[in-house]
Amino acid sequence: MKRLMFLAMLVAAQAFAHHGWSGYDADHPLQLSGSIEDSGYVHPHGFVRLKTPDKTWTVVLAPPTRLERRGLSREMIKPGKQASVYGYPSRENSQEMRAERITIDRKTVELR
């Protein structure tokens, strides 16, 4: 019984941590370029912190399994790499965007 309760809590926590895509404004796409300051190959979504001339953005990527399948390895998003990202700004956080595609080392990866 304790194990079942633990599993139920784990599933609920993951569902809570995952957000819907309606929080991003697809009517105002962005194209950003800059240097990766930090990155994570984590669930539910990978991310990079992209330093642009104006500010540092948190760029929400796809889940790690999709990143791998599409050809974006953990090594490719290491800090210090230059990246260009196309995606949609968050409606709630002016420093966050959801990436549709990312280009690193002349390789473009479609994330959705």
Give tens-digit pLDDT for 47-68. Answer: 999 999 999 999 999 999 999 9
- The residues, ordered by sequence, that sit 6+ positions from 4 with a Cβ below 8 Å of its Cβ are none
| 3-state SS, residue 107 | strand
- pLDDT at position 91, please? 97
Strand pairing partners for 98?
Answer: 60, 88
How far is 4 from 1, CA to CA, in rounded Å? Answer: 5
Q: Which domains does the chain have, with CATH numbers?
A: 22-110 (2.40.50.1010)
Asked if residues 91 and 27 have their Cβ atoms less than 8 Å apart, the reply is: no
Q: How far is CA 112 from CA 24, 51, 52, 56, in A?
A: 14, 23, 23, 23
List of the chain residues with pLDDT < 50: 4-18
- Is the whole model's pTM more than 0.85, yes or no? no
CA 61 and chain centroid, separation: 2
- pLDDT at position 112, please? 85
- pLDDT at position 3, please? 52
